[in-house]
């Protein structure tokens, strides 16, 4: 098989860019017109190089995590997420309250951004009160190493160093994921006073501590209880409304 060198192809493409037609380029360079046509409109694309998982070093389908997107998805996973293993792949499911369609739509868009090569599913559960978003990927347990057997509050939940760096880079996004999964925003009424409050509830003391420590690094003043944490100071709530938003 005769293969033209790269310099000849480069010259041909420069002539194409200059507006010269295929027949004239073929005459000048001494190559078949069909070769020039194929250079102008390639019939194949170079295969993408495989991506290696940085945890297990096996080939993996591409993911696209910015610090903000990963931190928010981590918060969603720690709150209402579950990873299950199948024979050939793994599945991440996020169970979200159907009363907050904006949260569901944003979480679905987040999964599309993080897993651009994978389909994102949406199903209704619990007689319509819950929306379950799902995505398949072979390396979910590598991307979220807090995955394990049993319930989250029955096993230690500790972030790895690279996860901590991403959360530190995007702490508001992490809080947003937590609030949108296991949190709520409500008006607290005490006598003739009423004020907006944020609350995050979880059975895992480690997950609660991650939420509290992230708040404290931001200068917030969370009040921790056995299974939930509240933020109700006026200045704290104002910053949460600005950076985390309402749950709608």
- pLDDT of 11 over the 70 cut: yes
Q: Is residue 54 part of a domain?
A: no
Residues 128 and 29 in one domain: no
- pLDDT of 1 over the 60 cut: no
Q: Which residue has the higher pLDDT, 225 or 11?
A: 225
Residues 144 and 199 in one domain: yes
Residues 140 and 175 in one domain: yes
Q: What is the pTM of this model?
A: 0.78
Q: Which band of pLDDT confidence, cut at 50, 70 and 90, is reported for residue 48? A: low
Per the structure, the count of domains in the chain is 2
Instruction: Please provide residue 42's backbone torsions phi and psi, each rounded to the nearest 5 degrees.
Output: -60, 140
Tell me the CATH number at 230: 3.10.28.10
Residues 81 and 12 in one domain: no
Interval 211-219 mean pLDDT: 97
Residues 97 and 211 in one domain: yes
Token pair 């949260």 is found at 103
In sequence order, the 6+-apart residues with CB closer than 8 A to the CB of 187 are 194, 195, 196, 197
Token pair 């347990």 is found at 141
pLDDT tens for residues 75-105? 999 999 999 988 889 999 999 999 999 999 9
Residues 64 and 36 in one domain: no
Q: Is residue 215 part of a domain?
A: yes
Q: How many CB atoms lie within 10 A of CB 126?
A: 11
Residues 33 and 116 in one domain: no
Q: Which band of pLDDT confidence, cut at 50, 70 and 90, is reported for residue 31? A: confident
Interval 135-140 mean pLDDT: 94
Interval 36-59 mean pLDDT: 73
- pLDDT of 46 over the 90 cut: no
Residues 162 and 89 in one domain: yes
pLDDT tens for residues 145-204? 999 888 898 888 999 999 999 999 999 999 999 999 999 999 988 888 899 999 999 999
Residues 151 and 29 in one domain: no
Q: Is residue 216 part of a domain?
A: yes
Domain hosting residue 68, numbered range: 59-243
Residues 27 and 63 in one domain: no
Separation of CA 61 from chain center: 14
Task: Name the token pair of 4.
Answer: 């033209």
Token pair 């969603």 is found at 76
């Amino acid at each position: 098989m005769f293969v033209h060198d790269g310099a000849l192809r480069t010259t041909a493409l420069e002539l194409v860019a200059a507006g010269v037609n295929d027949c004239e380029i073929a005459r000048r360079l001494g190559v078949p017109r069909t070769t020039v046509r194929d250079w102008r409109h390639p019939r194949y694309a170079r295969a993408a190089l495989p991506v290696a998982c940085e945890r297990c070093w096996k080939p993996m389908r591409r993911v696209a995590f910015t610090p903000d997107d990963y931190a928010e998805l981590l918060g969603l996973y720690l709150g209402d997420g579950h990873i299950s293993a199948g024979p050939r792949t793994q599945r991440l499911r996020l169970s979200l309250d159907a009363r907050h369609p904006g949260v569901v739509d944003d979480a679905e868009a987040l999964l599309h951004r993080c897993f651009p090569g994978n389909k994102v599913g949406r199903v209704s559960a619990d007689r319509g009160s819950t929306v379950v978003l799902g995505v398949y990927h072979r390396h979910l347990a590598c991307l979220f190493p807090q995955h394990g057997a049993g319930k989250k509050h029955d096993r230690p939940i500790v972030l790895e160093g690279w996860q901590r760096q991403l959360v530190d880079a995007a702490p508001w996004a992490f809080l947003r994921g937590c609030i949108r999964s296991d949190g709520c925003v409500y008006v607290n009424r005490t006598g003739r006073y009423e004020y907006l409050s944020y609350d995050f509830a979880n059975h895992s003391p480690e997950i609660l501590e991650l939420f509290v420590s992230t708040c404290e690094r931001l200068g917030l003043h969370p009040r921790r209880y056995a299974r939930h944490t509240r933020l109700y100071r006026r200045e704290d709530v104002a910053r949460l409304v600005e950076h985390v938003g309402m749950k709608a």
